[in-house]
């Protein structure tokens, strides 16, 4: 996966994209892994009610086990994802022409410079990826065999993502004892969005990030990260800790919309992605949003829909260079 032609053009001449050297046997600098991340069993959600509450309120993310996705599908999907990213940049870019699937690389800043999180010295985001709305999977028929094989696997995978997201959201609603109209109890499949990433290795990991510090704008996010290469980090007690990749498990993040729905009882976790010194890393993130036209009602925030929230986030990134997020919709204290 280190063919130079597969890299976006503006990354090709950077020195860190020389063929990576073997990882040192001693592992180099030790990684600070997050040892106590809550573990939630999807098959035992009713009995795990308190654990789910604690994870959502105090962490904003958890590790999901017994999720019901065949391990064969997960392994095939990861292997096919690597094959897709090994294609030439020109092929990947051209494959999305005329469709609602988009290819992207690099990003703008996601957090304000005056934030209270640990200082970020990184200006470059070393990644490329595809954005694929779940309702476009059946309409996206690329001519490239590798991309078509990947699409077929993603169609099957999306069924599991929809099932898991809906099951978890229903548990959240019950835990919060929310009185919501029927349409809000069921997330709409068509609101799902896949973002499939390749984070490019960097010989100087302190020279850039895979993805800048941010919170997710979704109701919830389900992350399938590669088993062999770590990179996801979460802010915990003012320290960045690595979420260790473990085979056949998923990472679930609470998003901004869920934080608003819960009146700030649930936490949208701050996280980032660090690049690896020796290897590229792939991950598949599934973002689920509230249904079209459904308003998020909260005592803490003005009423808004998911589309209004996403439009404001995009506008802020384009005009001031970073995401403002939920604070844009905060109610005045005297209201």
At 38, list the tokens: 């809550």
| Domains present along the chain, CATH in parentheses | 4-329 (2.60.120.330)
Q: Calculate mean pLDDT across residues 174-182.
A: 76
Cα separation, 171 vs 276, whole angstroms:
36
The residue assigned the tokens 């608003």 is: 260
Mean pLDDT of the chain: 83
pLDDT over 90, % of the chain: 47
Please check the confidence at residue 63 and state whether its pLDDT lies above 70: yes
Closest CA to 277 of 201, 332, 211, 191: 201
Q: How many CB atoms sit inside 10 A of residue 7's CB?
A: 22
Please check the confidence at residue 90 and state whether its pLDDT lies above 60: yes
240-to-216, 236, 273, 278 alpha-carbon distances in Å: 17, 6, 10, 20
* Full-model pTM: 0.88
List, for residues 309-330, the tens digit of each pLDDT value: 999 999 998 898 888 999 999 9
At 179, list the tokens: 């009185």
Q: Which residues contact 303 (CB under 8 A, 6 or more apart)?
A: 295, 296, 297
**pLDDT computed for residue 333 by the predictor:** 57
List strand residue ranges (DSSP E) for the chain, in order: 39-41, 61-65, 102-105, 127-133, 193-199, 211-214, 220-225, 232-236, 239-242, 250-254, 271-273, 281-288, 295-296, 304-305
At 262, list the tokens: 């819960």
**pLDDT computed for residue 30 by the predictor:** 52
List, for residues 96-143, the tens digit of each pLDDT value: 776 788 888 876 555 543 333 344 444 568 889 999 999 888 888 887
Among 24-33, 42-51, 200-209, where is mean pLDDT lowest? 24-33
Closest CA to 7 of 143, 202, 145: 202
Closest CA to 273 of 203, 205, 220, 219: 205
**pLDDT computed for residue 110 by the predictor:** 55
Q: Which residues contact 172 (CB under 8 A, 6 or more apart)?
A: 52, 56, 220, 258, 262, 266
Q: Calculate mean pLDDT across residues 27-34.
A: 56
- Do 233 and 212 contact (CB within 8 A), yes or no? no
Q: Calculate mean pLDDT across residues 35-59.
A: 91
């Amino acid at each position: 996966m280190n063919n130079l032609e597969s890299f976006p053009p503006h990354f090709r001449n950077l020195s860190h994209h020389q063929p990576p050297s073997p990882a040192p046997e001693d592992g180099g600098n030790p990684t600070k892994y997050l040892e106590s991340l809550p573990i939630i069993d999807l098959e035992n959600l009713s009995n795990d009610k308190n654990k789910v509450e604690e994870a959502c309120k105090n962490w904003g993310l958890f590790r999901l086990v017994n999720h019901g996705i065949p391990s064969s599908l997960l392994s095939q999907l990861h292997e096919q994802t690597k094959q897709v990213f090994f294609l030439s940049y020109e092929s990947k870019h051209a494959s999305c022409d005329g469709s609602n699937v988009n290819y992207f690389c690099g990003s703008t800043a996601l957090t304000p410079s005056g934030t209270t999180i640990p200082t970020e010295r990184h200006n470059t985001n070393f990644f490329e990826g595809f954005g694929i709305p779940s309702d476009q999977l059946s309409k996206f028929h690329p001519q490239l065999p590798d991309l078509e094989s990947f699409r077929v696997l993603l169609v099957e995978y999306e069924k599991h993502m929809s099932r898991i997201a809906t099951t978890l959201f229903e548990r959240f609603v019950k835990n919060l004892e929310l009185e919501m109209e029927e349409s809000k109890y069921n997330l709409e499949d068509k609101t799902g969005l896949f973002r499939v990433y390749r984070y490019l290795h960097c010989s100087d990991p302190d020279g850039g990030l895979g993805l800048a510090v941010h919170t997710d704008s979704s109701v919830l996010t389900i992350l399938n990260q590669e088993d062999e290469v770590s990179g996801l980090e979460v802010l915990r007690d003012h320290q960045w800790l690595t979420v260790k990749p473990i085979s056949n498990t998923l990472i679930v993040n609470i998003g901004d919309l869920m934080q608003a729905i819960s009146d700030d009882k649930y936490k949208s976790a701050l996280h980032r992605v660090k690049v690896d010194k020796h290897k590229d890393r792939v991950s598949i993130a599934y973002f689920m949003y509230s249904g079209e036209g459904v308003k998020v009602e909260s005592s803490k925030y003005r009423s808004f829909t998911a589309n209004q929230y996403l439009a404001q986030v995009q506008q802020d990134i384009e005009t001031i260079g970073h995401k403002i997020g939920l604070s844009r919709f905060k109610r005045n204290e005297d209201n």
